[in-house]
Chains A and B, each alone.
Chain A
Amino acid sequence: DGGITQSPKYLFRKEGQNVTLSCEQNLNHDAMYWYRQDPGQGLRLIYYSQIVNDFQKGDIAEGYSVSREKKESFPLTVTSAQKNPTAFYLCASSIGETYNEQFFGPGTRLTVL
């Protein structure tokens, strides 16, 4: 079955540590996205990528980094520069940047201890 996988589902990190969240899709989609979700704030766009080896900052990119070396994979690194990283992180993909239907992964809940 085609879909998007994110791992791990729950992640704990100590302050000052970088951590990488995995996102893989086998839908053959060109566009991929990372969102952060906090209670009462909906989904906020961190980074997006329209094609391999290209990515753009979203609304809240500070303290995060991404790579897009393969079409299927779009990992997100939460760096120590992110002052409030505890949140629910969602990865999504769409056929292309102009396609409105996005498919979401199950999410990773990151907690900083």
Chain B
Amino acid sequence: GQSLEQPSEVTAVEGAIVQINCTYQTSGFYGLSWYQQHDGGAPTFLSYNGLDGLEETGRFSSFLSRSDSYGYLLLQELQMKDSASYFCAVRGPSGGSYIPTFGRGTSLIVHP
């Protein structure tokens, strides 16, 4: 099976940079993804890392180190609208399929 650990809450001020870490355990690894979910809404896909290194998409970047079973999401130039929950997810093997497993989520609170 798969399991993921991420902090339950992170706080930061507007304009700052924040990093949300994710460590995982899986019997097989097929990539680390990140999702954003505003309160009461649907999760939306932010990024995917299949190989080691940094992927950049605008103000958001995501990093993966497969040897350390670790990744992070980096949010720059924080805005109030970035206040949301952020989930990391891995896809791993299960009974011949590749099922996704999500972390418990990190609540990001951005203060003015």
Partner of B43, one of A43, A48, A98, A100: A43
Q: In the docked arrangement, what's the CA distance between A45 and B102, Å?
A: 9
Question: Is B8 interfacial (CB-CB < 8 Å)?
Answer: yes
Question: What residues of chain A have their CB less than 8 Å away from a CB belonging to chain B?
Answer: 33, 35, 40-45, 48, 50, 56, 58-59, 90, 92, 97-98, 100-107
Question: Is B95 interfacial (CB-CB < 8 Å)?
Answer: yes
Partner of A101, one of B8, B33, B98, B101: B33
Q: In the docked arrangement, what's the CA distance between A90 and B13, Å?
A: 31
Known: A40-B8, A42-B87; 6 extra A-B contacts, CB below 8 A, are A40-B105, A42-B105, A45-B99, A48-B97, A90-B43, A100-B50
| Shortest 7 CB-CB contacts between residues of A and residues of B | A104-B42, A42-B104, A43-B102, A42-B102, A101-B45, A100-B48, A100-B33
Interface SS of chain B: helix, strand, loop or mixed? strand
Set of chain A residues within 8 Å of B43, measured between Cβ atoms: 43, 90, 92, 102, 104
Residue of A nearest to B96 (CB): A56
